[in-house]
C-alpha cells in the first residue's frame, strides 16, 4: 500500500533546523572511530541516553519534593516549568538523531513514550503548552524511524490520540488540534498497520475537526492528507466500511494491539536468545490473530507470515525440527517473502534435505530480484 505523498508542512518538519544543546551535539558527533574506551557507538549512545532518561525522571521528582515549603500553587508552577524544560530537551535531542539512535531511545528501559507519559503525569489537555510539547516529543520519536512508529502500537499512543482528538472535537483547542494531526500523520506515513488503525479509530473525529477548523490552513492540510490516506485504504479494502459504524472496529484494533504486544515481547526474547519464552509469546500472538476472519487484509497476512516464521526459528533452536518445518510451511501460506524462504531453507538444511534447502535460497533470490527490478 503506497501512502499519499505527505503535505509540504510535514515534509519540512523532517529537516526542520533545531538548536542543539551539548547533549545533542555529543550524540550526533559520535562515530565508530571514536572508540577510545573500547565501547561501540551504540554502547556510547545507550549510556548517554540512559543518563538523560534517569535525570529526566529524577528532575521531576526532586522538583516537587524539594519545594514542600513553597506555597502549593508556586510549587505546581515550578514543577510544570521543569516538565516543559525536560520535554523540550527530549524533543531537541531525539529529533536530530539517525534512526538507529532513535530506535535505542524509543526502546530504552520502559520506553520513550512511557517517559513522556511519566513527565506529563495527570496534566489535562487544558494545558495547551504541555500537551503540544508532549506531541512534539512523540513526533520526534517517529519521524524517519520505523521502530518508533511500531512502538506507538505497543505503548498505547493511539489511545492517547483518541482522547486528544475527542477532547478537541468538543472545544476549539486549535493549536493542540494542529499538532495532534501533524503528529498522527507522521505516525501513519509509511506504516500500513498504523494507517489502518488510524483509519478505524480516528477517521470520524478528523472529519469533524476539519470542519471545526475550516479556516486553519495547517489543520486542513493535515486532515486532508490523513483522510486521503484513509480513503485509499478503504478503497483497497472495501470490507473496512462495515467496521466504521460498529464496535467491530474497536475490537479489531484491540486484537491488533494485543498481537503487537506479544510480537514485541517475543522479539526482545529472541535478542537475548530466550527461545522457549519467545515461542510462547509468538504462540499467543498467533492464537489471538487467528481468531480473525479478516485474513484477506495484507497487514494481517504479513503479520501471520512473520509470526510463524519467527516461531519456526524458536522451534529449530530448541530442537523441535519437524515442528519448525511445519511452522515454516505455515508461514508461506500467509506471506511468500524472503524471510519465510530463508527460514524454511535453514530448517530443511538441518533436516538434511540439502537440495530442497538450495531451492528455497533460489526462490528467495528470485523474490529479491523481482523487488529490485
Share of the chain above pLDDT 70, in %: 81
pLDDT (mean) for 343-363: 95
pLDDT (mean) for 34-54: 81
Closest CA to 183 of 213, 155, 148, 215: 148
Backbone angle region of 128, left / alpha / beta, with phi > 0 → left and psi within -120 to 50 → alpha: alpha
Closest CA to 91 of 226, 186, 4: 186
Which of 79-83, 124-128, 247-251 is predicted least confidently?
247-251
pLDDT (mean) for 236-259: 72
The H or E element that residue 267 is part of is helix 248-271
Provide the greatest CA pair distance for the chain: 78
Closest CA to 3 of 195, 174, 147: 195
**Model pLDDT, residue 239:** 62
Q: Is 373 exposed, middle or buried (0-12, 13-18, 19+ CB in 10 A)?
A: exposed
How many H-runs (helices) and E-runs (strands) does the chain carry?
A: 18, 0
CA–CA distance, 136 with 179 (Å, rounded to integer): 7
Residue with cell 474497536: 250
In the 8-state DSSP scheme, what is residue 145?
Answer: -
**Model pLDDT, residue 124:** 75
pLDDT at 296 over 70: no
- Report yes or no: 218 and 9 within 8 Å, Cβ to Cβ: yes
- Taking only the tens place, the pLDDT of each residue in 130-149 is 999 999 999 999 999 998 99
Which of 75-79, 94-98, 201-205, 236-240 is predicted least confidently?
236-240
- Taking only the tens place, the pLDDT of each residue in 195-224 is 988 988 899 999 999 999 989 999 999 999
pLDDT (mean) for 4-19: 37
Which of 17-21, 101-105, 181-185, 369-373 is predicted least confidently?
17-21
**Model pLDDT, residue 64:** 47
pLDDT at 182 over 90: yes
Whole-number average pLDDT of the chain: 83
pLDDT at 92 over 50: yes
pLDDT (mean) for 190-199: 88
CA–CA distance, 370 with 364 (Å, rounded to integer): 10
pLDDT (mean) for 283-307: 83
Higher pLDDT, residue 8 or 101 = 101
- Report yes or no: 108 and 46 within 8 Å, Cβ to Cβ: yes
Residues 6+ apart with CB under 8 A from 85: none
pLDDT at 27 over 90: no
**Model pLDDT, residue 9:** 37
The x, y and z cell numbers of residue 266, run together, are: 517475543
Higher pLDDT, residue 38 or 325 = 325
pLDDT (mean) for 300-310: 92
- Report yes or no: 106 and 114 within 8 Å, Cβ to Cβ: no
The x, y and z cell numbers of residue 305, run together, are: 507470515
- Taking only the tens place, the pLDDT of each residue in 12-22 is 233 333 333 44
What DSSP string describes 269-335?
A: HHHTT-HHHHHHHHHHHHHHHTT-S-TTSHHHHHHHHHHHHHHHHHHHHTT-HHHHHHHHHHHHHH-
Q: Is 73 exposed, middle or buried (0-12, 13-18, 19+ CB in 10 A)?
A: exposed
Q: How confident is the model at residue 35 (pLDDT cuts 50, 70, 90)?
A: very low
Amino acid at each position: 500500500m503506497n501512502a499519499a505523498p505527505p503535505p509540504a508542512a510535514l515534509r519540512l518538519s523532517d529537516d526542520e533546523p533545531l538548536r542543539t544543546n551539548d547533549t545533542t551535539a555529543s550524540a550526533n558527533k559520535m562515530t565508530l572511530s571514536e572508540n577510545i574506551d573500547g565501547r561501540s557507538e551504540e554502547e556510547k549512545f545507550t549510556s548517554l541516553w540512559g543518563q538523560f532518561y534517569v535525570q529526566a525522571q529524577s528532575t521531576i521528582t526532586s522538583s516537587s519534593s524539594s519545594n514542600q515549603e513553597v506555597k502549593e500553587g508556586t510549587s505546581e508552577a515550578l514543577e510544570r516549568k521543569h516538565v516543559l524544560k525536560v520535554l523540550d530537551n527530549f524533543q531537541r535531542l531525539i529529533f536530530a538523531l539517525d534512526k538507529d539512535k532513535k530506535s535505542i531511545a524509543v526502546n530504552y528501559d520502559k520506553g520513550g513514550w512511557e517517559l513522556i507519559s511519566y513527565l506529563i503525569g495527570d496534566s489535562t489537555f487544558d494545558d495547551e503548552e504541555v500537551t503540544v510539547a508532549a506531541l512534539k516529543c512523540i513526533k520526534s520519536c517517529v519521524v524517519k524511524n520505523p521502530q518508533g512508529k511500531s512502538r506507538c502500537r505497543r505503548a498505547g499512543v493511539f489511545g492517547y490520540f483518541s482522547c486528544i482528538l475527542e477532547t478537541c472535537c468538543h472545544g476549539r483547542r486549535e493549536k493542540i488540534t494542529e499538532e495532534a494531526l501533524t503528529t498522527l500523520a507522521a505516525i501513519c506515513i509509511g506504516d500500513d498497520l498504523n494507517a489502518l488503525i488510524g483509519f478505524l479509530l480516528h477517521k470520524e473525529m478528523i472529519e469533524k475537526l476539519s470542519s471545526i477548523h475550516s479556516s486553519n490552513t495547517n489543520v486542513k492540510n493535515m486532515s486532508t492528507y490523513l483522510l486521503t490516506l484513509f480513503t485509499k485504504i478503504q478503497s483497497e479494502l472495501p470490507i473496512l466500511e462495515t467496521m466504521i459504524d460498529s464496535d467491530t472496529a474497536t475490537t479489531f484494533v484491540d486484537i491488533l494491539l494485543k498481537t503487537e504486544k506479544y510480537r514485541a515481547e517475543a522479539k526482545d526474547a529472541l535478542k537475548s536468545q530466550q527461545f522457549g519464552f519467545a515461542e510462547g509469546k509468538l504462540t499467543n500472538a498467533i492464537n489471538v490473530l487467528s481468531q480473525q476472519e479478516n485474513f484477506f487484509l495484507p497487514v494481517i497476512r504479513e503479520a501471520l507470515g512473520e509470526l510463524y516464521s519467527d516461531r519456526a526459528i524458536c522451534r529449530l533452536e530448541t530442537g523441535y525440527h519437524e515442528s519448525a518445518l511445519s511452522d515454516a510451511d505455515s508461514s508461506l501460506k500467509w506471506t511468500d517473502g524472503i524471510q519465510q524462504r530463508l527460514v524454511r531453507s535453514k530448517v530443511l538444511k538441518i533436516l538434511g534435505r540439502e537440495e530442497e534447502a538450495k531451492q528455497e535460497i533460489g526462490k528467495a533470490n528470485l523474490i529479491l530480484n523481482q523487488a529490485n527490478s
